[in-house]
A and B are shown apart, each in its own frame.
Chain A
């Protein structure tokens, strides 16, 4: 993958740019925000965007830009941890299912079917309703869905690789199954997994926002884009910017991650490469 190829892929570039911006914003929020994000100033409530409060203030006089910055941390960390757990558990399960076949494979596939039978947000709702609201439980809820996603994607991709000659040859020459998986299979499915991780990351951010919107995700005082949206809906008719700002933050971040994922799929997929004549 050469630099010129990347530069010729505008959606990848845009996606990467957006994602990088969100990442930088979240990172900066660790050391600096214009105002403390939880700082309540009732006299300064509902200020429109200005030089002091760049995106205005909310119903408690909190600075919206500061909340968006810290909210980015929340969204990204919930997404990262949920996808991380999903991969850490889902990928080995998928690999083993592909290698063993038989009943192991059946169990894994039926488990995935079961999870997929419920829409992601519904199962997340069920889990948070059961475990109680909060950031950790929201992460768990989203992670469980991702375990199934990664198990299935890994299994599918690994099955293809396992059928190829070089893997059969390795096995025939006496390489152990575990080492075959690690040395030959995993590197060959890594591209697919990275793409899936990007897409899942976007889904996880959406799911976190939805849960927080419903009051089941990150709890106050930690700002969350979803809850900002829920707070803003009381004021939609009079002060629409309160809803527009967190709504845009969610939409743009998810768009960025999806563009990035699409772009990576194109760039990492060898067949695409051939089609482009590189």
Chain B
């Protein structure tokens, strides 16, 4: 015991010596991320960058997704479940929005009914579809009754799209988010940064940081420079994988490699010829060497995937062998599909470095089998509008970062335009299954169907490489949901 205490003292002493005086008193953090949030209301837009800023920091839901992906109590301190369908949530007392308005059961009712409404613009409307009624029992008790069993309901209510919004501020949250979280929104400088400050009236343990600046730095080289110059303390999602080695050897920094929910796909417009032909989609997958892609784009950091599912999740099936790298087979399939000389197509790429670099490499892979893909670089807002909303594209590359988002392939209207009734049946049975083992089985069947249909090109699971100051504690290692939860972050 004494030895431990001594070691602890020694460690503290060395740390004090090693750190500049300023670092000890610091209570602010400058963080950088690569995509600018198009707005700041996660109930109105699917962009992951929104949750990067506001999830749990500004906005909170009844449940909360923690650093290791568990569902934990959020604004509901406890709940009981009856018949798998009736959820009675006990809300935390004394919770206030940043503008001083109280949070109570009526806010829950408003939030869920707004998200479920016909005119709702919630990006994850399907989360709310099973909700039948929301009843205010008393100011701190709310009962949610589902029309059918939904095994993911509690997890979904912890997602960014299900955060609590007050009726008075719901319409203005896009520009000036007002939530219940440990940090208040101070301001956004477009194209540059978002500034959050400590919420003095926070219901939970007071955050140890007084100020968080989140800077938008898209360019990987600029990210490297910002870290080296000390402008930025931490980049949770570092884009310059090739530069990681230099931070490994630098005592001023710590490199933390974790996993994400980001299945990176070469999305193909399944409704548009020639991509409506499974042989063409297969040919494209056969033309791509996933390992070379991972080495060339991510400096070896990613994991290859053969379907739309994260390798660390229960139910994962390794299907990378279904359509392996085989250019000869690719050419044969193209001939069979009526394209002996290949064809011309476009590859509309959003700005993240993994997408742009993968695009360049995939262009070279496709050229080997005769497919001439023209690269069209898009800004993110433009990409969201043209590709994601209007489905106006041939192929694109993007990481799908929502956890367990494979049921998206059953959506009526989604930018892949993928349709398979058999898959939709599986989505329905998944939704009605609570048993974890059975759910894992269904996930396995879903993955197989997507691999056999080659709904998209399946590339790799995006790694999370974080570069941080060694004495900054509490940042998430993995990325179960898109978030930079700063509530428990502090300087040691």
A interface residue numbers (CB < 8 A to B): 38-40, 42, 45, 59-61, 132-133, 215, 219-221, 233-238
Contacts and interface: CB of A to CB of B under 8 A. Distances in A.
Contacts of A45: 295-296
B224 A60 contact: no
B296 A237 contact: no
Given A219-B374, A219-B375, A60 B242 contact: no
B133 interface: no
Given A45-B296, A219-B374, A220-B375, A234 B363 contact: no
Contacts of A219: 374-377
A42 B246 contact: no
A60 B360 contact: yes
Interface centre among B220, B240, B296 (most CB of A within 10 A): B296
B375 A234 contact: no
A59 B363 contact: no
B351 to A, nearest CB: 9
A59 B375 contact: no
The 7 closest A-B pairs by CB, nearest first: A42-B292, A40-B364, A233-B221, A220-B360, A42-B296, A234-B221, A219-B375
A220 B357 CA distance: 10
Contacts, number: 55
Contact of A60 (B221, B246, B296, B367): B296
Contacts of A59: 242, 296, 357
Interface residues of B, number: 24
Interface centre among B240, B246, B292 (most CB of A within 10 A): B292
A199 B79 CA distance: 76
Contacts of A132: 376
B296 A234 contact: no
A231 to B, nearest CB: 9
Interface in B339-388: 357, 359-361, 363-365, 367, 374-377
A44 to B, nearest CB: 11
Nearest to A132: B376
A234 B364 contact: no
Contacts of B377: 133, 215, 219
Contact of B246 (A38, A61, A215, A237): A237
Interface centre among B243, B357, B364 (most CB of A within 10 A): B364
Given A220-B359, A220-B363, 12 more contacts: A38-B364, A45-B295, A59-B296, A60-B364, A219-B374, A219-B377, A220-B360, A221-B363, A221-B367, A233-B221, A235-B242, A238-B243
A234 B376 contact: no
A236 B376 CA distance: 26
Interface in B132-156: none
A17 B141 CA distance: 85
Nearest to A221: B363
B22 interface: no
B18 interface: no
Contact of B296 (A39, A40, A220): A40
B376 A221 contact: no
A60 B374 CA distance: 18
Contacts of B367: 38, 221
B189 interface: no
Nearest to A60: B296
A235 B353 CA distance: 14
A39 B224 CA distance: 28
B5 interface: no
A233 B246 CA distance: 14
Contacts of B21: none
Contacts of A233: 221
A234 B220 contact: yes
Nearest to A215: B377
A61 B292 CA distance: 11
Contacts of B1: none
B245 interface: yes
A236 B221 contact: yes
B374 A238 contact: no
Given A45-B296, A133-B376, A234-B220, A40 B246 contact: no
Nearest to A220: B360
A237 B243 contact: yes
Contacts of A42: 289, 292, 295-296
Interface in B199-241: 220-221, 224, 240
Interface string B433-468: 000000000000000000000000000000000000
A82 to B, nearest CB: 21
23 contacts: A38-B367, A40-B365, A42-B289, A59-B357, A61-B296, A132-B376, A133-B376, A219-B374, A219-B375, A219-B376, A220-B359, A220-B363, A221-B360, A221-B364, A234-B221, A234-B224, A234-B240, A234-B242, A235-B242, A236-B221, A237-B224, A238-B242, A238-B243
